[in-house]
Amino acid sequence: MLDIAQRLAVVRERIRRAELVAGRRPGSVTLLAVSKTRTPEEIRSAAAAGQLRFGENYLQEALAKIEALRDASIEWHFIGRIQSNKTRAIAEHFAWVHSLSSSRHAQRLDAQRPGELPRLKVCLQVNLSGEASKEGLEPTQVADLVAQMVNFPRLELCGLMAIPAPEKELAGQREAFARLRRIRDRIATPGAPLSTLSMGMSDDLEAAIAEGSTLVRIGTAIFGPRS
């Protein structure tokens, strides 16, 4: 069986190949290691192999790990569902939030971001699968929230994120990611270029990179199956 460092090397190679196949610059895709349900020791193994960005979904679990890994220079990304009573801890402990989808949460995160920290980087989460998911903005709502973001000076709007419904075939995977890219292309402005496309997971990172992903969120392929 492969260990975490070996699986990380395999994932980096998959990313490099996908960049090459897509004719994209090597290194243009950032790897976020998704560490939900993983122990601080597993995260340490990945960090020792050079992985410095980690994504967490559940706030209580994340806070315990952030505390346990204070000495490691890790950049923490919040990728889970945001609850209003959790925004302060998110604003205080994370560098990025990928799952913003309401102006109410934006307003709270903005007000609660500590002044001594850099602006909180955010992606707006878009629901690409309609009825199948309740998470994220409807495509028709994205432009409106993008426009409102100028009211939140402590937030830095970086781009869009999506979790498409699982698809077996590459063509179907690409179709969903292409939809997110087209939404971005349609609403991007010089003031809000939305240059980050947070899309692609263990089973579909090649399709996501082919469609312009700049950040893939990878759990299983790095740490093994979740129990």
Ligand X SMILES: *Cc1c(COP(=O)(O)O)cnc(C)c1O
Helix axis angle, 40-48 to 59-68, nearest 10°? 60
Binding-site residue total for ligand X (CB under 6 A)? 13
Rounded CA-CA distance 49/93 in Å is 23
Task: Provide the Cα torsion 53, 96, 189, 107; round to 10°.
Answer: 180
Q: Let me know: does 216 contact 15? Beta carbons within 8 Å.
A: yes
Helix (H, G, I), strand (E, B) or coil at 44: helix
Length of the chain: 227
Site string for ligand X, 22-51 (x = CB under 6 A): ------------x-x---------------
Which of 121/217 has CB closer to ligand X? 217
Name the residue with the smallest CB distance to ligand X: 219
Q: Which of 30, 63, 201, 224 binds ligand X (CB under 6 A)?
A: 201
Give the DSSP letter of residue 129. Answer: S
Kindly state the smallest distance separating residue 2's Cβ from ligand X, in Å: 15
Which of 66/218 has CB closer to ligand X? 218
Kindly state the smallest distance separating residue 138's Cβ from ligand X, in Å: 18
Give the DSSP letter of residue 126. Answer: B
Q: How far is CA 218 from the centre of its chain?
A: 9
Q: How far is CA 15 from the centre of its chain?
A: 16
Kindly state the smallest distance separating residue 147's Cβ from ligand X, in Å: 25
Q: Verify binding: residue 167, ligand X, rule CB under 6 A.
A: no
Q: Which of 30, 57, 102, 107 binds ligand X (CB under 6 A)?
A: 57
Kindly state the smallest distance separating residue 36's Cβ from ligand X, in Å: 6
| 30-60 burial: b if 16+ Cβ within 10 Å, else e | ebbbbbbebebebbbbbbebebebbbbbebe
Site string for ligand X, 76-105 (x = CB under 6 A): ---x--------------------------
Kindly state the smallest distance separating residue 161's Cβ from ligand X, in Å: 8
Give the residue among 171, 165, 175 at the shortest CA–CA distance from 135.
165
Q: Which stretch binds ligand X (CB under 6 A): 18-26, 70-78, 85-93, 215-223?
A: 215-223
Q: Verify binding: residue 217, ligand X, rule CB under 6 A.
A: yes
Q: Verify binding: residue 219, ligand X, rule CB under 6 A.
A: yes
Q: Verify binding: residue 133, ligand X, rule CB under 6 A.
A: no
Residues that bind ligand X (CB under 6 A): 34, 36, 57, 79, 163, 201-203, 217-221
